[in-house]
């Protein structure tokens, strides 16, 4: 189907390698929407993975939509990159959401698409609005009134069943029958309108109970074995944070279990992809670009990371890491960072004092942090980013002061190493406030109040 597209979407489409275009006829049409701009969405490997997975299903055609960057873009309409079609023309609109901050954008997109915001006000022929992503493993309730159904779990473990060959028939039924069949037959499907929340007399939450014959508990779906499920970039474009970098997920979850961190708990057990699969992914990536990004909660924990990075290719490639631990900088990893001309490395002490790092189970010492800062700069990485939080449980003002002290100590090491290399880069300190996350040991800890946070940041 041909729709009038615009110069913004044409520019995005023309700058891409790997765009998937499939004929619409006879297929379920899915608009996969990232509730933020093209640049942000295309930097998200989870979003790209869903795009690839859906298009691998023969009877599905999946196109991508994003929040317009500015008013000139498509006159504010939400149209897809592949065919320039309005998302309201699709059978299904699938939101892929990784961050709670994007929740308001989900509503903006529904409004711009001309669709009723509330699920209860939509009916056939409106598209089915579904949503998935890690933010909904944690808590789908903030946007529950606006979504017809959530897919709770990892995409590979739930999408093939959800989009099986009966879905075209179900989409022709009335909305409630379609959703009921999905909720009853596809584990991980949560239809908010089929559940009621109940509360104690003091107003505190009691339970969520089904009002129809659907599962009492929604099972979070996850892939037990990643060894046959590569997760890599589907589309390369310069218009992302990673600029034509081919991303490869090396692992899912994290073995460290920092007590504030949802990644360390919702993706349990941590799973690592085998070297043989990752080598194949890397070869595929090298056929498309010379920049490889290894992605994972803690890439340096992969047991064969050094072997993976020492693969030889016919051309020079640059390898970057989404994360590494301050206590895991092996000579091999440092050599890869040096060869890849990485400009900025991130260290996340998270807390300033050892006392508080022990409380949050961070598992790194002050010496690990100082050694990492000194070594990274000595290896030629000029800039450092430091991540800290305030408002952590059991924090005192001494712990807050310790952030300043630690930054000064890091600066001292940084300058010593920088002067030796005759180049002084920048240290960026990022300070955020602790937010209690579901499923972590700190989930019931109250958040610090704004006045207290402000006084700590001063």
Q: What gap in Å lies between CA 72 and CA 87, rounded to an integer?
A: 18
CA-based nearest residue to 149, from 174, 180, 126: 180
Q: Which is nearer to ligand SF4, 193 or 368 (CB)?
A: 368
Q: What gap in Å lies between CA 215 and CA 217, rounded to an integer?
A: 5
Which stretch, 98-106, 260-268, 307-315, 389-397, contacts ligand SF4 (CB under 6 A)? 260-268
Query: If binding is defined by CB under 6 A, does position 441 make contact with ligand SF4?
Result: no
Contacts of 447 (CB under 8 A, 6+ apart): 391, 433, 434, 435, 436
269-286 in b/e form (b: 16+ CB < 10 A) is ebbbbebebbeebbeebb
CA-based nearest residue to 409, from 368, 458, 457: 368
Q: How far is the CB of 429 from ligand SF4 (least distance, A)?
A: 17
Q: How far is the CB of 255 from ligand SF4 (least distance, A)?
A: 7
Q: How far apart are the first and last CA of the chain?
A: 57
Site map for ligand SF4, 81-120, x if CB under 6 A?
----------------------------------------
Q: How far is the CB of 333 from ligand SF4 (least distance, A)?
A: 16
Which stretch, 32-40, 251-259, 281-289, 383-391, contacts ligand SF4 (CB under 6 A)? 251-259
Q: How far is the CB of 452 from ligand SF4 (least distance, A)?
A: 23
- Using CB under 6 A, pick the residue from 13, 30, 258, 369 that binds ligand SF4: 258
SS3 labels along 303-341: CCHHHHHCCCCCCCCEEEECCCCCCCCCHHHHHHHHHCC
**β-strands 427-433, 383-390 pairing:** parallel
- Using CB under 6 A, pick the residue from 140, 192, 264, 293 that binds ligand SF4: 264
Contact 182, 191 (CB under 8 A): yes
Residues numbered 272 to 291 that lie near ligand SF4 (CB under 6 A) are: none
208-229 in b/e form (b: 16+ CB < 10 A) is eeeeeebeeebebbbbeebeeb
- Using CB under 6 A, pick the residue from 220, 256, 355, 385 that binds ligand SF4: 256
Query: If binding is defined by CB under 6 A, does position 326 make contact with ligand SF4?
Result: no
Query: If binding is defined by CB under 6 A, does position 257 make contact with ligand SF4?
Result: yes
Q: Which helix (H) or strand (E) holds 385?
A: strand 383-390
Query: If binding is defined by CB under 6 A, does position 386 make contact with ligand SF4?
Result: no
Site map for ligand SF4, 284-323, x if CB under 6 A?
-------------xx-------------------------
Q: Which is nearer to ligand SF4, 183 or 326 (CB)?
A: 326
- Using CB under 6 A, pick the residue from 261, 329, 347, 386 that binds ligand SF4: 261
3-class state of residue 412 by DSSP: helix
Q: What gap in Å lies between CA 373 and CA 412, rounded to an integer?
A: 10
Which stretch, 90-98, 254-262, 430-438, 441-449, contacts ligand SF4 (CB under 6 A)? 254-262
Q: How far is the CB of 260 from ligand SF4 (least distance, A)?
A: 7
Q: How far is the CB of 135 from ligand SF4 (least distance, A)?
A: 16
Q: Which is nearer to ligand SF4, 161 or 385 (CB)?
A: 385
Contacts of 292 (CB under 8 A, 6+ apart): 245, 246, 248, 282, 285, 286, 317, 318, 319, 320
Q: Which is nearer to ligand SF4, 261 or 292 (CB)?
A: 261
Query: If binding is defined by CB under 6 A, does position 247 make contact with ligand SF4?
Result: no
CA-based nearest residue to 41, from 98, 93, 106, 79: 98
Q: How far is the CB of 175 from ligand SF4 (least distance, A)?
A: 39
Query: If binding is defined by CB under 6 A, does position 351 make contact with ligand SF4?
Result: no
Residues that bind ligand SF4 (CB under 6 A): 254, 256-258, 261, 263-264, 297-298
């Amino acid at each position: 189907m041909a729709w009038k597209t615009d110069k913004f979407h044409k520019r995005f489409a023309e700058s891409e390698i790997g765009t998937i275009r499939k004929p619409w006829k006879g297929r379920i049409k899915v608009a996969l929407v990232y509730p933020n701009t093209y640049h942000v969405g295309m930097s998200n490997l989870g979003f790209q993975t869903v795009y690839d997975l859906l298009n691998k299903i023969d009877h599905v055609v999946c196109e991508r939509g994003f929040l317009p960057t500015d008013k000139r873009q498509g006159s504010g309409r939400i149209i897809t990159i592949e065919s320039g079609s309005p998302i309201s023309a699709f059978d299904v609109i699938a939101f892929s959401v990784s961050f709670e901050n994007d929740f308001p954008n989900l509503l903006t997109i529904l409004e711009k698409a001309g669709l009723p915001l509330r699920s209860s006000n939509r009916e056939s022929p409106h598209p089915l609005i579904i949503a998935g992503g890690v933010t909904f493993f944690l808590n789908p309730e903030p946007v529950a009134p606006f979504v017809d159904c959530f897919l709770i779990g990892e995409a590979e473990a739930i999408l093939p069943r959800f989009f099986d060959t009966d879905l075209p028939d179900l989409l022709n039924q009335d909305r409630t029958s379609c959703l009921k069949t999905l909720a009853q037959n596809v584990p991980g499907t949560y239809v908010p309108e089929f559940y009621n929340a109940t509360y104690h007399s003091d107003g505190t939450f009691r339970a969520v109970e089904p009002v129809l014959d659907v599962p009492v508990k929604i099972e979070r779906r996850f892939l037990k074995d990643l060894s046959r499920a590569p997760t890599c970039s589907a589309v390369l474009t310069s218009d992302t944070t990673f600029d034509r970098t081919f991303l490869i997920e090396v692992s899912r979850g994290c073995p460290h279990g920092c007590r504030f961190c949802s990644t360390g708990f919702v993706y349990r057990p941590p799973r690592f992809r085998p070297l043989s699969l990752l080598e194949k992914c890397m070869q595929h990536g090298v056929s498309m670009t010379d920049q490889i990004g290894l992605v994972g909660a803690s890439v340096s924990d992969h047991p064969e990371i050094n072997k993976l990075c020492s693969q030889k290719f016919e051309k020079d490639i640059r390898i970057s890491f989404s994360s590494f631990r301050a206590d895991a900088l092996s000579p091999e990893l440092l050599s890869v960072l040096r060869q890849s001309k990485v400009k900025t490395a991130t260290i996340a002490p998270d807390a300033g004092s050892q006392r508080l790092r022990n409380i949050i189970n961070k598992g790194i010492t002050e010496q690990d942090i100082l050694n990492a800062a000194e070594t990274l700069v000595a290896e030629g990485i000029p800039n450092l980013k430091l991540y800290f939080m305030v408002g952590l449980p059991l924090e005192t003002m001494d712990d807050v002061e310790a952030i300043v002290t630690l930054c000064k100590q890091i600066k001292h090491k940084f300058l010593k190493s920088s002067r030796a290399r005759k180049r002084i880069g920048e240290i960026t300190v990022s300070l955020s406030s602790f937010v209690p996350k579901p499923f972590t040991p700190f989930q019931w800890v109250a958040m610090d109040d704004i006045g207290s946070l402000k006084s700590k940041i001063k």
